[in-house]
Amino acid sequence: MALELYIPPCIRNPINPHHPPPPNKPLRIQIEGPLVAVERLFPNIQWHVEDIEPEFPQPAGPKLAELAYSLLYGRNASPDIQGDLVVRHEYLGWIMDPKPVQEIDYYGVTFDHFVPSDDHDPEVLQINIIEIEDDNGVYANTYIPFHVDVAEYAGKRVLAVPRCCQKRKGTTDRRRVNEGVDRKEGRVRAGYEEIEA
């Protein structure tokens, strides 16, 4: 059974300008977390990571983007509205220990909302899916500035927390997320110049 994704309201005062995001503001959003938690949202999803260069996007990518979008904007993305939701990049966290294997244990997807195609440094909302069941909430209650009751989540829902509501500051989120899209699209930035790879 698929669990519900839960993104809590912003706990900051004043609230972060991207949580919730204004409906018409261009924004790049990345949501990522442990594979075990993503699979609780989509228990029947297939992963195609056997190849050196896996297919893009993975079947979970658009589904996770659409789910996050609907929670953030309070509506489903519309295919009739140009740029409403565009999947741009995904992060595959490859298992490297004790030796590299062709499996992932972490997954994330990056999508744009009304970001112009020539904007290579848009503002970013980083959302982390927090695994609660595997460690009985230890990680969540260490890095989230509010109490997480495992009983409210275990077998019921998956917690996803925007960076503004975490203890981690995320000072490199914008650069890291935008550079991921740049790499996916074959761009490498050198200072203020843009170079095609």
Please say if the pLDDT value at position 189 is more than 60. no
User: Which one has a higher pLDDT value, 100 or 117?
Assistant: 117
Residue 61 is predicted with a pLDDT of 98
Separation in Å, CA 31 to CA 28, 91, 97, 150, 151: 10, 10, 24, 21, 23
pLDDT digits (tens, 9 = 90+) for 21-31: 999 999 999 99
Please say if the pLDDT value at position 194 is more than 80. no
Instruction: Please state the domain extents for the chain.
Output: 4-196
User: Which one has a higher pLDDT value, 109 or 55?
Assistant: 109
Residue 91 is predicted with a pLDDT of 96
Distance, CA of 142 to CA of 38 (rounded, Å): 21
Tokens standing for 42?
């989509």
Separation in Å, CA 15 to CA 9, 26, 73, 126, 170: 9, 18, 16, 15, 16
Residue 89 is predicted with a pLDDT of 98
Tokens standing for 114?
């009304």
pLDDT digits (tens, 9 = 90+) for 115-148: 999 999 999 999 999 999 999 999 999 999 999 9
Measured at the alpha carbon of residue 57, what is the angle toward residues 56 and 62, in degrees to the nearest 5?
165
Measured at the alpha carbon of residue 146, what is the angle toward residues 162 and 168, in degrees to the nearest 5?
45
Q: Which residue has the tokens 């228990």?
A: 43
What value does the mean pLDDT take over residues 64-72? 99
To the question of pTM greater than 0.85 for the whole model, the response is yes
